[in-house]
Chains A and B, each alone.
Chain A
Amino acid sequence: MGCCYSFCKEDSGPQSGEVNERTHLLVDPVSNNTNIPRVHSDDYVNQYASSAPKKTDEQSALNRILHETAANVIDVGALDSHNLEQHEYMDRSRAYSKRIEAGGIKVPDSTSCLLKDVPAPEKILAAEPLAAGDHGLITEMLNKAVTALEDVNVEHKEDLVVVGISQASRLVRRVAARRGIDRSGIGLLSDWQVPSFSATNTQEPRTLYRRPLVLNLPTNHWESAHENIQCKSTNYQTSTGYAYDRALLYD
């Protein structure tokens, strides 16, 4: 027995709306439907028309279903049928630009293109991409540029002077003094014990040490080349002999 149908039947009974021993505790439309031995079309009509309690005939109920379904369906295909007419397009364009102007919004410029609009693309596309002469010119220029870049090197003009630690520590002290920090009590040991020297005075004793350039050869044969770097550092001022010893080790 259908749920709605049973309601209709019970409405006429003396115990309508009251809970009795026949009332279902759970509303289960599936099991309710299975109780019906024979389904009449009237049952369906009554089910769908349950929101409207008054009696309606079959035709009007079906019509209502049809209208409801039509109202709920969004016909995507029909939406495209509306084409913008030229004047409508202009009106909208004007309205939008007026709105943008009123809002004070700056619309970003359309991105510029390196290409210019040409009338017949097929002709240009079918043509040879690059003339052989142009290609040769570009390649030649590129090769020359690469060769020039490879030849770039540092020209040796004067001795390379490596700034010793004392100058760095003096700089630190100067910065500290400018910032009003008294570093006299907190200075690093290296700040104090290294005698200061002038970086511009190249007449001071200078330590020569050599930096080895090690080439890894396939036969595991190690060969060293030497690049002379003249290092001037106060650390080595009092131990020139040691520095030389170290330099000799590399020979």
Chain B
Amino acid sequence: MLSLERIPDQIGHLVLTEDGAVLTSGGELENDERFANIIIGLVTLTNKIDPKAFPNNEAFDKISITYPDHCYIICLSNKKIHIVKKRLLSLTSATVEESLIDV
């Protein structure tokens, strides 16, 4: 329905309702309800954001989950949760991997 498939480097997308039902999906995230549940758990993890860190009671535009070679970007629009899985460039993955091993 949206042009999520046209996003560069995307390898999977998912559109959920706010209660976690899969509306549309594609790529590696096709009909991935397990992943949808994880995402819902993440975005509804807390009902309060630390007011010291974020004084204006603001919410976030997007949540990024970054792995060495891929990432997930989550955002809310029109009461639907949009998730895109993207491939990351190998240049950044090398540096990230190194730092993760250090940890």
Q: Which residues of A contact B (CB under 8 A)?
A: 110-122, 124-127, 129-130, 132, 135, 139, 142-143, 146
Contacts and interface: CB of A to CB of B under 8 A. Distances in A.
Contact of B44 (A111, A119, A125): A111
Nearest to B65: A129
Given A121-B4, A124-B62, A125-B62, 14 more contacts: A113-B43, A113-B76, A114-B60, A115-B43, A115-B63, A116-B58, A121-B2, A121-B76, A125-B10, A126-B7, A126-B8, A129-B71, A135-B92, A143-B102
A125 B7 contact: yes
B44 to A, nearest CB: 4
A125 B59 contact: no
Interface string B13-46: 0000010000000000000000000000011111
5 contacts: A114-B63, A118-B75, A121-B82, A129-B71, A143-B102
Contacts, number: 95
Q: Main SS of chain B's interface residues?
A: mixed
Contacts of B64: 129-130
A129 B73 contact: yes
B103 interface: yes
Interface of B: 2-4, 6-8, 10, 18, 42-49, 58-64, 66, 71, 73-79, 81-82, 84, 86, 88, 92, 96, 99, 102-103
A113 to B, nearest CB: 5
A115 B47 contact: no
B91 to A, nearest CB: 10
B98 to A, nearest CB: 10
A126 B59 CA distance: 20
